Amino acid sequence: MTRSLAYGRSLASRFRIETAPVVVSKTLQKTEVAFTRVQLNVADPQLTLPIPQEDAYLIGVQLRAVPMHDLWLDGRMVSPAPFLAGSTVFYDLKKSPTARCLSPFDTLFFYFPRRVFDLIADQAEVPRFDDLNYVLGEAIADRTIHSLALSLLPALDRSGEMNRLYFEHVALAAGTHLAQTYGGMAHRRSRVGLLATWQERRAKALIAANLHGDLSRSQLAAECGLSPDYFARAFKRSTGVSPHQWLLMKRVELTKELLRSSNKTLAEVAIAAGFYDQSHMTRVFSNATGTTPASWRRAFYTGASRHAPERGTDAED
């Protein structure tokens, strides 16, 4: 996949600026969303360098007023009004935006590939939409996007110190707001007190991939965009069991599989299935099945041998 030139140092170079603070978040299925702060301290009457066309948007949040500027889209000049501090401007990168920066500016650019909005709609289990709806070159007041932009500023220059999960949540919040406000994405019918389908699927997949219990409840909740307490309640209402009970169920399932298909000792099975030790496995397994792992294995092999074909008979069904 060709890397986008619409964020970070590549975006800064369009304005003949050497560098710019940037954070890249792979929010949904490794699709990149980026936040870049571009500052021009002296007006530049030259045209900005073109950004290669791609199916993506730049959303610029003006951190200071821009009294004078020219803008071209698809080679045609538009005459935008002055951009007020705090306003938001949309740029469709399929329209090859270029500009003349006749005033200094300080802008935080949100980079959103079109695919992100498709993924957000899929996760919300609502129909996809075609495009964002906005007026070309017009700066609008969007308090939500402005607030999200301001929340990023203290961390942007020291992004290496910031929890990457924080940026992912900001990216998802901004993308969802844009999809609903400007894309007309429908709100999913709320299942009050329950996890959304994607949240339940995500939580179960994470638990199954971490049977040793490496993920905390807080981490699972964060992956679903929920508080730990709400996540725990919603998970139990959605599945009938708590996250910890579901983890134990998956351990028991894996224990059965290992008892059937491997020659591991019971102690080895216990560790492989995520239990602390053999005693822990026996206690949990017995509570779930009514029998011990050793008895279960003996019963399985006794049953298997009883149904095995006798020597000299046809072994095929």
pLDDT, one tens digit per residue, over 23-48 is: 888 877 778 899 999 999 999 999 99
Give tens-digit pLDDT for 179-234. Answer: 999 998 876 555 567 888 878 888 998 998 888 888 888 888 888 878 888 899 99
Give whole-number Cα distances, 252 to 125, 147, 203, 246, in Å. 32, 47, 18, 10
The CATH number given to 245-306 is 1.10.10.60
Residue 292 banded pLDDT, cuts 50, 70, 90: very high
Residue showing tokens 């351990």:
251
CA geometry: angle 298, 303, 305, nearest 5 deg: 95
Return the pLDDT at 317. 29
Return the pLDDT at 19. 87
- Provide mean pLDDT across the span 143-168: 79
Please tell me the total number of residues recorded for the chain in this structure: 317
Residue 288 banded pLDDT, cuts 50, 70, 90: very high
- Provide mean pLDDT across the span 118-122: 87
Count Cβ atoms below 10 Å from residue 152 Cβ, excluding itself. 22
Q: What percent of the chain has pLDDT over 90?
A: 56
Count Cβ atoms below 10 Å from residue 148 Cβ, excluding itself. 20
- Provide mean pLDDT across the span 237-253: 93
Return the pLDDT at 293. 93
Return the pLDDT at 192. 62
- d(Cα 112, Cα 142) in Å, to the nearest integer? 17
The overall average pLDDT reported for the chain is: 86
Q: What percent of the chain has pLDDT over 70?
A: 91
In contact, 137 and 78? CB cutoff 8 Å: yes
Residue 316 banded pLDDT, cuts 50, 70, 90: very low
Q: Which DSSP state fits 18?
A: S
Q: Please report the sign of the dihedral spanned by the C-alpha atoms of residue 195, residue 197, residue 198, residue 203.
A: positive
* Domain at 8-181, CATH homologous superfamily: Jelly Rolls (2.60.120.10)
- The beta-carbon contacts of 152-158 under 8 Å, at least 24 apart in sequence, are 152/23, 152/35, 152/108, 153/37, 153/63, 153/108, 155/23, 156/21, 156/22, 156/23, 156/35, 156/37, 156/108, 157/21
24, 25, 5: which is closest to 15 by C-alpha? 5
Return the pLDDT at 159. 54
Return the pLDDT at 80. 80
Residue 311 banded pLDDT, cuts 50, 70, 90: very low
Residue 3 banded pLDDT, cuts 50, 70, 90: confident
Comparing 315 with 76, which gets the higher pLDDT? 76
Return the pLDDT at 300. 86
Question: Residue ranges per domain, the chain?
Answer: 8-181, 197-240, 245-306
